[in-house]
Structure 1
Amino acid sequence: MGVRRPLTEELVRHDVDVGWWATPEAYRGGCYAEMYAALQVWLGDSLPFTAPYFSNAEIPPGPT
Structure 2
Amino acid sequence: MEIKRRIEELLGSDRDRILIGIDGRAGSGKTTLARKLAEVFDCNVFQMDDFFLQGYQ
Is the TM value for this pair above 0.5?
Answer: no
What's the TM-score, normalizing by structure 1? 0.34
More strand by share: 1
Query: Which structure would you say has the larger RCO, counting Cα contacts within 8 Å and 6 or more residues apart?
Result: 1
- Of structures 1 and 2, the larger Rg is shown by 2
More helix by share: 2
